[in-house]
Structure 1
Amino acid sequence: MFEHARQELLTLRDLLRFSVSRFNEAGLFFGHGSDNAWDEAVYLLLHTLHLPPDRLEPFLDARLTSDERSRALLIIEKRIKERLPAAYLTHEAWLGEHRFYVDERVIVPRSFIAELLEEQLEPWIEDPWAVADVLDLCTGSGCLAILAALAFPEAAIDAVDLSPDALAVAQRNVADYELGERVQLIHSDLFSAVDKKRRYDLIISNPPYVDAAAMRALPPEYRCEPELALAAGEDGLDLVRIMLRQAKARLNPGGILVVEIGHNRAVLEAACPTLPFTWLDTRAGDEYVFLLRREELPDA
Protein backbone atom coordinates (compact mmCIF):
# COMPACT_ATOMS: atom_id res chain seq x y z
CA MET A 1 0.00 0.00 0.00
CA PHE A 2 2.73 2.48 0.95
CA GLU A 3 4.75 1.63 -2.14
CA HIS A 4 1.78 2.47 -4.36
CA ALA A 5 1.27 5.67 -2.39
CA ARG A 6 4.80 6.78 -3.24
CA GLN A 7 3.86 6.62 -6.91
CA GLU A 8 0.30 7.94 -6.82
CA LEU A 9 0.13 10.67 -4.13
CA LEU A 10 1.36 13.97 -5.52
CA THR A 11 0.35 16.82 -3.22
CA LEU A 12 0.32 17.50 0.51
CA ARG A 13 -3.48 17.30 0.34
CA ASP A 14 -3.17 13.79 -1.11
CA LEU A 15 -0.80 12.74 1.65
CA LEU A 16 -3.02 14.15 4.36
CA ARG A 17 -6.09 12.31 3.13
CA PHE A 18 -4.10 9.08 2.85
CA SER A 19 -2.57 9.50 6.33
CA VAL A 20 -5.88 10.19 8.06
CA SER A 21 -7.42 7.15 6.40
CA ARG A 22 -4.55 4.91 7.43
CA PHE A 23 -4.51 6.23 11.01
CA ASN A 24 -8.22 5.59 11.40
CA GLU A 25 -7.94 2.20 9.74
CA ALA A 26 -5.17 1.21 12.15
CA GLY A 27 -7.14 2.35 15.21
CA LEU A 28 -4.32 4.48 16.57
CA PHE A 29 -4.63 6.08 19.98
CA PHE A 30 -4.06 9.82 20.27
CA GLY A 31 -3.32 11.88 23.35
CA HIS A 32 0.29 13.02 23.18
CA GLY A 33 -0.27 16.46 21.71
CA SER A 34 -3.29 15.82 19.50
CA ASP A 35 -6.56 13.97 20.00
CA ASN A 36 -7.54 12.98 16.46
CA ALA A 37 -6.12 11.55 13.24
CA TRP A 38 -6.32 14.80 11.24
CA ASP A 39 -4.34 16.93 13.70
CA GLU A 40 -1.74 14.21 14.15
CA ALA A 41 -1.28 13.78 10.40
CA VAL A 42 -1.01 17.55 9.87
CA TYR A 43 1.63 17.85 12.58
CA LEU A 44 3.75 14.92 11.40
CA LEU A 45 3.67 15.95 7.74
CA LEU A 46 4.40 19.63 8.31
CA HIS A 47 7.26 18.75 10.64
CA THR A 48 8.75 16.23 8.23
CA LEU A 49 8.52 18.64 5.30
CA HIS A 50 10.06 21.49 7.33
CA LEU A 51 6.98 23.66 6.92
CA PRO A 52 5.60 26.12 9.51
CA PRO A 53 3.51 24.18 12.03
CA ASP A 54 0.69 26.75 11.91
CA ARG A 55 0.56 27.30 8.11
CA LEU A 56 -1.20 24.44 6.34
CA GLU A 57 -3.48 26.11 3.79
CA PRO A 58 -0.85 27.73 1.53
CA PHE A 59 0.85 24.36 1.00
CA LEU A 60 -2.07 21.97 0.59
CA ASP A 61 -1.90 21.75 -3.18
CA ALA A 62 1.87 21.96 -3.48
CA ARG A 63 3.39 18.99 -5.29
CA LEU A 64 6.03 17.07 -3.39
CA THR A 65 9.31 15.77 -4.71
CA SER A 66 9.81 12.02 -4.69
CA ASP A 67 12.25 12.37 -1.78
CA GLU A 68 9.75 14.43 0.21
CA ARG A 69 7.01 11.86 -0.41
CA SER A 70 9.29 9.05 0.74
CA ARG A 71 10.26 10.82 3.95
CA ALA A 72 6.67 11.80 4.73
CA LEU A 73 5.30 8.32 4.11
CA LEU A 74 8.10 6.76 6.15
CA ILE A 75 7.11 8.65 9.30
CA ILE A 76 3.41 7.89 8.73
CA GLU A 77 4.20 4.21 8.29
CA LYS A 78 6.38 4.18 11.40
CA ARG A 79 3.61 5.82 13.45
CA ILE A 80 1.26 3.01 12.42
CA LYS A 81 3.57 0.00 12.65
CA GLU A 82 5.41 0.89 15.86
CA ARG A 83 2.57 2.78 17.59
CA LEU A 84 5.09 5.35 18.81
CA PRO A 85 3.70 8.66 20.05
CA ALA A 86 4.30 11.41 17.51
CA ALA A 87 6.62 13.22 19.92
CA TYR A 88 9.03 10.29 19.88
CA LEU A 89 9.09 10.36 16.08
CA THR A 90 9.84 14.10 15.87
CA HIS A 91 11.80 14.38 19.15
CA GLU A 92 9.82 17.41 20.20
CA ALA A 93 6.80 18.26 22.32
CA TRP A 94 5.05 21.58 22.78
CA LEU A 95 3.50 23.14 25.86
CA GLY A 96 1.84 26.28 24.59
CA GLU A 97 4.46 28.17 22.61
CA HIS A 98 7.37 26.34 24.22
CA ARG A 99 9.18 23.49 22.50
CA PHE A 100 11.01 20.73 24.38
CA TYR A 101 13.24 17.88 23.24
CA VAL A 102 11.85 14.44 24.13
CA ASP A 103 12.65 10.81 23.46
CA GLU A 104 11.71 7.43 24.93
CA ARG A 105 13.60 8.17 28.15
CA VAL A 106 10.87 10.56 29.35
CA ILE A 107 7.11 10.81 29.39
CA VAL A 108 5.72 13.06 26.67
CA PRO A 109 4.98 16.46 28.33
CA ARG A 110 1.25 17.17 28.68
CA SER A 111 0.70 18.82 32.06
CA PHE A 112 -2.18 21.08 33.02
CA ILE A 113 0.25 22.86 35.34
CA ALA A 114 1.89 24.35 32.24
CA GLU A 115 -1.10 26.58 31.51
CA LEU A 116 -1.26 27.64 35.18
CA LEU A 117 2.39 28.68 35.02
CA GLU A 118 1.65 30.73 31.90
CA GLU A 119 -0.63 32.78 34.19
CA GLN A 120 2.06 32.82 36.92
CA LEU A 121 -0.39 30.97 39.21
CA GLU A 122 -2.49 34.08 39.59
CA PRO A 123 -4.20 34.84 41.99
CA TRP A 124 -2.49 32.34 44.29
CA ILE A 125 0.85 34.06 43.79
CA GLU A 126 0.42 37.82 44.12
CA ASP A 127 3.92 38.91 43.07
CA PRO A 128 5.76 36.60 40.64
CA TRP A 129 8.96 38.59 41.14
CA ALA A 130 8.93 37.78 44.85
CA VAL A 131 9.12 34.01 44.26
CA ALA A 132 12.71 33.10 45.16
CA ASP A 133 12.80 29.30 45.33
CA VAL A 134 10.80 26.66 43.43
CA LEU A 135 10.96 22.86 43.57
CA ASP A 136 9.72 20.69 40.70
CA LEU A 137 9.25 17.09 41.81
CA CYS A 138 9.27 14.36 39.11
CA THR A 139 10.58 16.81 36.53
CA GLY A 140 10.94 14.32 33.66
CA SER A 141 12.00 16.32 30.61
CA GLY A 142 12.39 19.42 32.77
CA CYS A 143 9.53 21.21 31.02
CA LEU A 144 7.72 22.46 34.15
CA ALA A 145 10.96 23.53 35.80
CA ILE A 146 11.79 25.58 32.72
CA LEU A 147 8.32 27.10 32.55
CA ALA A 148 8.58 27.96 36.25
CA ALA A 149 11.89 29.70 35.61
CA LEU A 150 10.26 31.74 32.83
CA ALA A 151 7.20 32.54 34.96
CA PHE A 152 9.17 33.61 38.04
CA PRO A 153 12.19 35.58 36.79
CA GLU A 154 13.96 35.87 40.16
CA ALA A 155 13.51 32.24 41.23
CA ALA A 156 16.09 29.50 41.60
CA ILE A 157 14.58 26.18 40.51
CA ASP A 158 15.44 22.72 41.85
CA ALA A 159 14.22 19.99 39.48
CA VAL A 160 14.11 16.45 40.89
CA ASP A 161 13.73 13.07 39.26
CA LEU A 162 14.48 9.46 40.20
CA SER A 163 15.48 8.54 36.63
CA PRO A 164 19.03 9.41 35.50
CA ASP A 165 17.83 9.00 31.90
CA ALA A 166 15.11 11.59 32.42
CA LEU A 167 17.60 13.99 34.00
CA ALA A 168 19.83 13.65 30.92
CA VAL A 169 16.93 14.79 28.74
CA ALA A 170 16.11 17.58 31.20
CA GLN A 171 19.73 18.74 31.04
CA ARG A 172 19.46 19.11 27.28
CA ASN A 173 16.30 21.19 27.60
CA VAL A 174 17.73 23.38 30.35
CA ALA A 175 20.75 24.03 28.12
CA ASP A 176 18.50 24.80 25.14
CA TYR A 177 16.77 27.50 27.20
CA GLU A 178 20.09 28.75 28.61
CA LEU A 179 18.83 28.33 32.16
CA GLY A 180 21.73 26.36 33.61
CA GLU A 181 22.49 29.04 36.19
CA ARG A 182 18.95 29.02 37.54
CA VAL A 183 17.73 25.42 37.17
CA GLN A 184 19.54 22.77 39.20
CA LEU A 185 18.84 19.13 38.35
CA ILE A 186 18.86 16.70 41.28
CA HIS A 187 18.82 12.89 41.21
CA SER A 188 16.44 12.09 44.04
CA ASP A 189 13.49 9.96 45.08
CA LEU A 190 11.14 12.88 45.78
CA PHE A 191 12.56 14.86 48.73
CA SER A 192 15.12 12.26 49.86
CA ALA A 193 18.27 13.77 48.29
CA VAL A 194 17.15 17.41 48.39
CA ASP A 195 19.15 19.59 50.79
CA LYS A 196 17.24 19.42 54.06
CA LYS A 197 17.97 23.10 54.71
CA ARG A 198 16.30 24.23 51.48
CA ARG A 199 12.87 25.84 51.76
CA TYR A 200 10.63 26.77 48.85
CA ASP A 201 7.98 29.34 48.07
CA LEU A 202 6.42 26.96 45.57
CA ILE A 203 6.51 23.19 45.03
CA ILE A 204 5.00 21.85 41.80
CA SER A 205 4.65 18.29 40.60
CA ASN A 206 3.17 16.29 37.77
CA PRO A 207 4.00 12.90 39.30
CA PRO A 208 3.14 9.38 38.18
CA TYR A 209 -0.55 8.91 39.04
CA VAL A 210 -1.86 6.00 36.93
CA ASP A 211 -3.52 3.35 39.09
CA ALA A 212 -2.97 -0.39 38.66
CA ALA A 213 -6.20 -1.05 36.74
CA ALA A 214 -5.54 1.79 34.32
CA MET A 215 -1.95 0.61 33.80
CA ARG A 216 -3.26 -2.78 32.68
CA ALA A 217 -5.58 -1.08 30.16
CA LEU A 218 -3.09 1.36 28.62
CA PRO A 219 -3.04 1.53 24.80
CA PRO A 220 0.24 0.71 23.00
CA GLU A 221 1.20 4.38 22.58
CA TYR A 222 1.26 4.88 26.35
CA ARG A 223 3.20 1.67 26.88
CA CYS A 224 6.04 3.24 24.89
CA GLU A 225 6.55 5.69 27.76
CA PRO A 226 8.65 4.82 30.83
CA GLU A 227 6.55 2.87 33.32
CA LEU A 228 8.37 4.70 36.12
CA ALA A 229 6.80 7.94 34.91
CA LEU A 230 3.26 6.54 34.90
CA ALA A 231 2.57 3.86 37.53
CA ALA A 232 1.75 4.97 41.08
CA GLY A 233 0.44 1.92 42.91
CA GLU A 234 -2.97 0.38 43.33
CA ASP A 235 -4.93 3.66 43.56
CA GLY A 236 -2.50 6.00 41.78
CA LEU A 237 -1.67 7.99 44.91
CA ASP A 238 1.57 6.42 46.18
CA LEU A 239 3.74 9.44 45.44
CA VAL A 240 1.08 12.03 46.27
CA ARG A 241 0.71 10.61 49.79
CA ILE A 242 4.45 11.08 50.38
CA MET A 243 4.29 14.66 49.09
CA LEU A 244 1.38 15.48 51.38
CA ARG A 245 3.27 14.13 54.39
CA GLN A 246 6.59 15.80 53.66
CA ALA A 247 5.87 19.04 51.77
CA LYS A 248 5.07 21.22 54.78
CA ALA A 249 8.59 20.90 56.17
CA ARG A 250 9.99 22.01 52.80
CA LEU A 251 7.84 25.10 52.28
CA ASN A 252 8.37 28.65 53.49
CA PRO A 253 5.53 30.27 55.48
CA GLY A 254 2.80 31.09 52.99
CA GLY A 255 4.31 28.71 50.44
CA ILE A 256 2.10 26.56 48.24
CA LEU A 257 2.05 23.01 46.87
CA VAL A 258 0.55 22.45 43.39
CA VAL A 259 0.11 18.86 42.18
CA GLU A 260 -1.54 17.27 39.15
CA ILE A 261 -3.34 13.99 39.81
CA GLY A 262 -5.27 13.17 36.62
CA HIS A 263 -8.64 11.55 37.24
CA ASN A 264 -7.96 10.75 40.90
CA ARG A 265 -9.80 13.63 42.57
CA ALA A 266 -12.54 11.52 44.16
CA VAL A 267 -10.04 8.91 45.35
CA LEU A 268 -7.78 11.58 46.85
CA GLU A 269 -10.60 13.41 48.64
CA ALA A 270 -11.82 10.11 50.08
CA ALA A 271 -8.31 9.23 51.25
CA CYS A 272 -7.65 12.68 52.78
CA PRO A 273 -11.05 13.99 53.90
CA THR A 274 -9.64 16.57 56.32
CA LEU A 275 -7.43 18.41 53.81
CA PRO A 276 -8.96 21.58 52.31
CA PHE A 277 -7.93 21.04 48.69
CA THR A 278 -8.32 23.95 46.31
CA TRP A 279 -8.98 22.63 42.80
CA LEU A 280 -7.58 24.88 40.10
CA ASP A 281 -9.41 25.71 36.89
CA THR A 282 -7.75 24.55 33.67
CA ARG A 283 -9.02 24.36 30.11
CA ALA A 284 -10.02 20.75 30.82
CA GLY A 285 -11.91 21.62 34.02
CA ASP A 286 -11.22 21.75 37.75
CA GLU A 287 -10.69 18.05 38.38
CA TYR A 288 -7.00 17.60 37.77
CA VAL A 289 -4.74 19.96 39.78
CA PHE A 290 -4.94 20.76 43.47
CA LEU A 291 -3.34 23.48 45.58
CA LEU A 292 -2.61 23.50 49.28
CA ARG A 293 -0.93 26.23 51.31
CA ARG A 294 1.78 25.29 53.77
CA GLU A 295 -0.51 26.10 56.68
CA GLU A 296 -3.12 23.65 55.31
CA LEU A 297 -0.72 20.71 55.05
CA PRO A 298 -0.32 18.10 57.79
CA ASP A 299 2.82 17.96 59.94
CA ALA A 300 5.19 15.14 59.01
Structure 2
Amino acid sequence: MESADLHYGHGASDAQSEALWIVSKQLEQSPSETLEQLEFTISEELSQKALEIAKKRIESRQPLAYLLGEAWLMGVPFDCTPQSIIPRSFIAELIVHESFEPWLPADGQVLDLCTGNGSLAVLMALCYPDLQVTASDLSLPALALAARNLDRHHLSDRIELLHGDLWEPIAKQDLQFDLIICNPPYVNEQSMQGLPPEYRAEPREALAGGADGMDLIRQIIASASEYLHERGALVLEIGNEYDHFQKAFGHLSPIWMEVSAGDRQICLIEADDLRH
Protein backbone atom coordinates (compact mmCIF):
# COMPACT_ATOMS: atom_id res chain seq x y z
CA MET A 1 0.00 0.00 0.00
CA GLU A 2 2.91 2.37 0.66
CA SER A 3 3.99 2.19 -2.97
CA ALA A 4 0.48 2.77 -4.32
CA ASP A 5 -0.75 6.25 -5.26
CA LEU A 6 -3.32 6.46 -2.46
CA HIS A 7 -4.69 9.41 -0.53
CA TYR A 8 -5.52 9.21 3.16
CA GLY A 9 -7.44 11.28 5.68
CA HIS A 10 -10.56 9.20 6.26
CA GLY A 11 -9.58 7.97 9.70
CA ALA A 12 -6.01 6.94 8.86
CA SER A 13 -3.10 9.19 7.99
CA ASP A 14 -0.85 6.76 6.10
CA ALA A 15 -0.49 3.27 4.63
CA GLN A 16 0.72 1.71 7.89
CA SER A 17 -2.32 3.03 9.76
CA GLU A 18 -4.64 1.62 7.12
CA ALA A 19 -2.87 -1.75 7.23
CA LEU A 20 -3.34 -1.81 11.01
CA TRP A 21 -7.00 -0.90 10.54
CA ILE A 22 -7.51 -3.80 8.10
CA VAL A 23 -5.88 -6.29 10.46
CA SER A 24 -7.79 -5.04 13.51
CA LYS A 25 -11.06 -5.47 11.62
CA GLN A 26 -10.19 -9.13 10.95
CA LEU A 27 -9.31 -9.60 14.62
CA GLU A 28 -12.60 -7.87 15.64
CA GLN A 29 -10.67 -5.31 17.65
CA SER A 30 -10.33 -1.56 17.60
CA PRO A 31 -7.19 -0.27 15.85
CA SER A 32 -5.88 1.01 19.18
CA GLU A 33 -6.29 -2.43 20.79
CA THR A 34 -4.35 -4.07 17.97
CA LEU A 35 -1.64 -1.40 18.15
CA GLU A 36 -1.15 -2.04 21.88
CA GLN A 37 -0.33 -5.70 21.25
CA LEU A 38 3.37 -6.33 20.74
CA GLU A 39 2.55 -9.59 19.04
CA PHE A 40 -0.62 -11.08 17.63
CA THR A 41 -1.47 -14.09 15.51
CA ILE A 42 -3.75 -13.94 12.52
CA SER A 43 -4.95 -17.09 10.77
CA GLU A 44 -4.20 -17.83 7.14
CA GLU A 45 -7.88 -17.31 6.30
CA LEU A 46 -8.02 -13.89 7.95
CA SER A 47 -4.67 -12.96 6.47
CA GLN A 48 -6.00 -13.71 3.00
CA LYS A 49 -9.10 -11.61 3.66
CA ALA A 50 -6.91 -8.71 4.80
CA LEU A 51 -4.81 -8.96 1.65
CA GLU A 52 -7.95 -8.99 -0.52
CA ILE A 53 -9.20 -5.80 1.17
CA ALA A 54 -5.81 -4.12 0.67
CA LYS A 55 -5.84 -5.11 -3.00
CA LYS A 56 -9.34 -3.75 -3.47
CA ARG A 57 -8.34 -0.52 -1.73
CA ILE A 58 -5.45 -0.03 -4.17
CA GLU A 59 -7.39 -0.97 -7.28
CA SER A 60 -10.63 0.87 -6.55
CA ARG A 61 -9.26 3.92 -4.69
CA GLN A 62 -12.36 3.63 -2.49
CA PRO A 63 -11.88 4.90 1.07
CA LEU A 64 -11.06 2.04 3.42
CA ALA A 65 -13.98 2.96 5.70
CA TYR A 66 -16.41 2.19 2.88
CA LEU A 67 -14.72 -1.14 2.13
CA LEU A 68 -14.86 -2.16 5.80
CA GLY A 69 -18.28 -0.62 6.46
CA GLU A 70 -16.90 0.99 9.61
CA ALA A 71 -15.00 4.07 10.74
CA TRP A 72 -13.53 5.17 14.07
CA LEU A 73 -13.69 8.67 15.52
CA MET A 74 -12.08 9.47 18.87
CA GLY A 75 -11.97 5.75 19.63
CA VAL A 76 -15.68 5.25 18.93
CA PRO A 77 -16.82 2.98 16.06
CA PHE A 78 -19.48 3.99 13.54
CA ASP A 79 -21.24 2.20 10.72
CA CYS A 80 -20.12 3.74 7.45
CA THR A 81 -21.60 3.63 3.93
CA PRO A 82 -21.16 5.71 0.75
CA GLN A 83 -24.50 7.40 1.54
CA SER A 84 -22.68 9.73 3.95
CA ILE A 85 -19.23 11.27 4.35
CA ILE A 86 -16.82 9.35 6.55
CA PRO A 87 -16.63 10.50 10.22
CA ARG A 88 -13.57 12.72 10.68
CA SER A 89 -14.70 16.12 11.98
CA PHE A 90 -12.29 18.01 14.23
CA ILE A 91 -15.32 19.11 16.24
CA ALA A 92 -15.08 15.62 17.77
CA GLU A 93 -11.87 16.66 19.56
CA LEU A 94 -13.64 19.60 21.17
CA ILE A 95 -16.52 17.37 22.26
CA VAL A 96 -14.41 14.75 24.02
CA HIS A 97 -12.24 17.43 25.64
CA GLU A 98 -15.39 19.22 26.86
CA SER A 99 -14.32 22.51 25.30
CA PHE A 100 -17.74 24.14 25.12
CA GLU A 101 -17.97 25.73 28.55
CA PRO A 102 -19.46 28.19 29.42
CA TRP A 103 -21.80 28.05 26.41
CA LEU A 104 -23.10 24.53 27.01
CA PRO A 105 -24.50 23.62 30.44
CA ALA A 106 -24.28 19.97 31.46
CA ASP A 107 -28.03 19.52 31.01
CA GLY A 108 -28.33 21.82 28.01
CA GLN A 109 -29.76 21.40 24.54
CA VAL A 110 -27.55 20.84 21.50
CA LEU A 111 -28.24 20.56 17.79
CA ASP A 112 -25.99 18.70 15.35
CA LEU A 113 -26.92 20.44 12.09
CA CYS A 114 -26.03 18.52 8.88
CA THR A 115 -25.46 15.45 11.05
CA GLY A 116 -24.75 13.00 8.21
CA ASN A 117 -23.83 9.67 9.81
CA GLY A 118 -24.70 11.01 13.27
CA SER A 119 -21.18 10.62 14.70
CA LEU A 120 -20.98 14.06 16.34
CA ALA A 121 -24.43 13.69 17.89
CA VAL A 122 -23.41 10.29 19.28
CA LEU A 123 -20.20 11.69 20.77
CA MET A 124 -22.16 14.56 22.33
CA ALA A 125 -24.57 12.14 23.98
CA LEU A 126 -21.75 9.86 25.18
CA CYS A 127 -19.64 12.67 26.63
CA TYR A 128 -22.52 14.68 28.12
CA PRO A 129 -24.97 12.14 29.61
CA ASP A 130 -27.51 14.79 30.66
CA LEU A 131 -27.68 16.67 27.36
CA GLN A 132 -30.74 16.82 25.15
CA VAL A 133 -29.42 16.11 21.67
CA THR A 134 -31.13 16.77 18.33
CA ALA A 135 -29.61 15.95 14.94
CA SER A 136 -30.90 16.95 11.51
CA ASP A 137 -30.06 16.41 7.86
CA LEU A 138 -31.56 16.85 4.39
CA SER A 139 -30.43 13.41 3.20
CA LEU A 140 -32.75 10.53 4.08
CA PRO A 141 -30.07 7.88 3.35
CA ALA A 142 -27.68 9.71 5.70
CA LEU A 143 -30.35 9.85 8.41
CA ALA A 144 -30.99 6.12 8.00
CA LEU A 145 -27.27 5.55 8.61
CA ALA A 146 -27.38 7.92 11.60
CA ALA A 147 -30.27 5.89 13.03
CA ARG A 148 -28.12 2.75 12.76
CA ASN A 149 -25.33 4.46 14.67
CA LEU A 150 -27.71 5.67 17.37
CA ASP A 151 -28.97 2.11 17.75
CA ARG A 152 -25.42 0.74 17.78
CA HIS A 153 -24.58 2.92 20.78
CA HIS A 154 -27.97 2.50 22.48
CA LEU A 155 -28.81 6.19 22.09
CA SER A 156 -32.02 6.05 20.06
CA ASP A 157 -33.99 7.28 23.07
CA ARG A 158 -31.62 10.19 23.75
CA ILE A 159 -31.07 11.67 20.30
CA GLU A 160 -33.92 12.99 18.16
CA LEU A 161 -33.38 12.78 14.39
CA LEU A 162 -35.10 15.36 12.18
CA HIS A 163 -35.36 15.41 8.39
CA GLY A 164 -35.45 18.61 6.38
CA ASP A 165 -33.60 21.38 4.61
CA LEU A 166 -31.33 23.17 7.05
CA TRP A 167 -33.50 25.20 9.50
CA GLU A 168 -36.85 23.96 8.19
CA PRO A 169 -37.39 21.06 10.64
CA ILE A 170 -36.09 23.19 13.53
CA ALA A 171 -38.50 26.01 12.75
CA LYS A 172 -41.43 23.62 12.49
CA GLN A 173 -40.91 22.52 16.09
CA ASP A 174 -39.99 26.02 17.33
CA LEU A 175 -36.77 24.71 18.88
CA GLN A 176 -33.89 26.63 20.46
CA PHE A 177 -30.51 25.38 21.66
CA ASP A 178 -27.60 26.28 23.89
CA LEU A 179 -25.15 25.04 21.26
CA ILE A 180 -25.41 24.31 17.56
CA ILE A 181 -22.55 22.33 16.03
CA CYS A 182 -22.19 21.95 12.27
CA ASN A 183 -19.72 20.40 9.85
CA PRO A 184 -21.32 21.69 6.64
CA PRO A 185 -20.30 21.38 2.98
CA TYR A 186 -17.50 23.95 2.67
CA VAL A 187 -15.08 22.88 -0.08
CA ASN A 188 -14.71 25.63 -2.69
CA GLU A 189 -15.30 24.96 -6.38
CA GLN A 190 -11.64 25.02 -7.41
CA SER A 191 -10.65 22.61 -4.63
CA MET A 192 -13.52 20.28 -5.54
CA GLN A 193 -12.09 19.91 -9.03
CA GLY A 194 -8.75 18.75 -7.60
CA LEU A 195 -10.03 16.20 -5.06
CA PRO A 196 -8.44 12.71 -5.27
CA PRO A 197 -10.65 9.67 -6.01
CA GLU A 198 -11.00 8.81 -2.32
CA TYR A 199 -12.78 12.10 -1.63
CA ARG A 200 -14.78 12.02 -4.85
CA ALA A 201 -16.22 8.71 -3.63
CA GLU A 202 -18.10 10.61 -0.93
CA PRO A 203 -21.45 12.31 -1.61
CA ARG A 204 -20.71 15.54 -3.48
CA GLU A 205 -23.55 17.37 -1.74
CA ALA A 206 -21.85 16.77 1.61
CA LEU A 207 -18.62 18.43 0.44
CA ALA A 208 -19.29 21.11 -2.19
CA GLY A 209 -19.77 24.61 -0.80
CA GLY A 210 -20.00 26.65 -4.00
CA ALA A 211 -17.54 29.06 -5.61
CA ASP A 212 -15.94 30.17 -2.32
CA GLY A 213 -17.13 27.30 -0.11
CA MET A 214 -19.46 29.59 1.81
CA ASP A 215 -22.84 28.97 0.10
CA LEU A 216 -24.47 26.92 2.85
CA ILE A 217 -22.51 28.64 5.62
CA ARG A 218 -24.11 31.96 4.57
CA GLN A 219 -27.56 30.42 5.08
CA ILE A 220 -26.54 28.96 8.42
CA ILE A 221 -25.12 32.19 9.79
CA ALA A 222 -28.02 34.29 8.48
CA SER A 223 -30.59 32.48 10.64
CA ALA A 224 -28.66 30.73 13.42
CA SER A 225 -29.48 33.35 16.07
CA GLU A 226 -33.19 32.52 15.79
CA TYR A 227 -32.49 29.02 17.08
CA LEU A 228 -30.05 29.85 19.87
CA HIS A 229 -30.75 30.71 23.48
CA GLU A 230 -29.62 34.13 24.65
CA ARG A 231 -26.14 32.96 25.69
CA GLY A 232 -25.86 30.21 23.10
CA ALA A 233 -23.25 29.70 20.37
CA LEU A 234 -22.77 28.28 16.89
CA VAL A 235 -19.75 26.05 16.20
CA LEU A 236 -18.73 25.73 12.55
CA GLU A 237 -16.07 23.63 10.89
CA ILE A 238 -14.71 25.34 7.76
CA GLY A 239 -11.71 23.19 6.83
CA ASN A 240 -9.11 25.12 4.84
CA GLU A 241 -11.50 27.95 3.94
CA TYR A 242 -10.30 30.47 6.55
CA ASP A 243 -9.53 33.20 4.00
CA HIS A 244 -12.88 32.79 2.27
CA PHE A 245 -14.65 32.81 5.62
CA GLN A 246 -12.93 36.00 6.73
CA LYS A 247 -13.77 37.70 3.45
CA ALA A 248 -17.43 36.71 3.68
CA PHE A 249 -17.92 37.34 7.41
CA GLY A 250 -15.44 40.04 8.36
CA HIS A 251 -18.15 41.73 10.41
CA LEU A 252 -18.22 38.83 12.86
CA SER A 253 -15.88 38.23 15.81
CA PRO A 254 -15.55 34.43 15.93
CA ILE A 255 -13.58 32.58 18.58
CA TRP A 256 -11.16 30.24 16.80
CA MET A 257 -10.90 26.89 18.56
CA GLU A 258 -7.60 25.03 18.85
CA VAL A 259 -7.61 21.47 17.50
CA SER A 260 -4.91 19.11 16.24
CA ALA A 261 -5.12 20.71 12.78
CA GLY A 262 -4.48 24.20 14.19
CA ASP A 263 -6.65 27.16 15.12
CA ARG A 264 -8.14 28.10 11.74
CA GLN A 265 -10.42 25.10 11.14
CA ILE A 266 -13.24 25.60 13.65
CA CYS A 267 -14.86 28.75 14.93
CA LEU A 268 -17.38 29.49 17.64
CA ILE A 269 -19.71 32.45 17.12
CA GLU A 270 -21.73 33.65 20.10
CA ALA A 271 -25.43 34.37 19.72
CA ASP A 272 -24.99 38.07 20.50
CA ASP A 273 -22.47 38.38 17.66
CA LEU A 274 -24.86 36.66 15.25
CA ARG A 275 -27.68 39.05 16.16
CA HIS A 276 -25.71 42.21 15.33
TM class by shorter chain equals over 0.9
User: 1:20: which partner in 2?
Assistant: none
Checking the alignment, whether the CA contact within 8 Å between 1:120 and 1:128 is kept in structure 2 is no
1:1-300 matches, cutoff 5 A: 23-50=1-28, 53=31, 54-56=33-35, 57-59=37-39, 62=41, 64-65=43-44, 67-125=45-103, 128-131=105-108, 133-194=109-170, 195=172, 197-298=174-275
Q: Is the 8 A contact 1:84 1:221 kept in 2?
A: yes
Structure 1 stretches of at least 4 aligned residues deviating more than 6 Å after TM superposition? none
**1:67-112 CA deviation, whole Å, 9 max, x = no partner?**
2332121111111111111111111111112111111111001011
Which one-letter code corresponds to 2:179 in the other structure?
A: L
CA distance in 1, matches of 2:229, 2:30: 44
Unaligned runs of at least 5 residues, structure 1? 1-22
User: Which amino acid counterpart does residue 284 of structure 1 have in structure 2?
Assistant: A
CA distance in structure 2 between the aligned counterparts of 1:81 and 1:110, rounded to whole angstroms: 23
Any idea what the Cα deviations from partners look like across 1:15-64, whole Å, max 9, x if unmatched? Answer: xxxxxxxx23321111111111111112112312435533345436x474
SS in 2 for 1:24: coil
Shift of 1:173: 0.5
Q: Does the aligned pair in 1 maintain the 2:82–2:201 contact within 8 Å? A: yes
Give distance in 2, aligned partners of 1:231 and 1:288: 16
Q: Where in structure 2 are there 5+ consecutive unaligned residues?
A: none
* Matched-pair contact (CA < 8 Å) for 1:128–1:152: no
Whole-angstrom CA distance in 2 between matches of 1:98 and 1:78: 25
> Once the two structures are superposed, what CA deviation does each residue of 1:193-251 show, in whole Å capped at 9, x if it has no partner?
22352111110001111111111101001111111111111111111111111000110
Q: Structure 1 CA distance, aligned partners of 2:127 and 2:51?
A: 39
| Equivalent residue letter for 2:191 | A
1:248-280 per-residue CA deviation (whole Å, 9 max, x = no partner) reads: 011011011101000111211111111001100
Question: Separation in 2 of the partners of 1:242 and 1:152?
Answer: 28
RMSD: 1.7
**Which has the greater radius of gyration?**
1
Rounded Cα–Cα distance in structure 2 between residues aligned with 1:171 and 1:283: 29
Percent identity at matched positions? 40
Secondary structure of 1:166's match?
Answer: helix
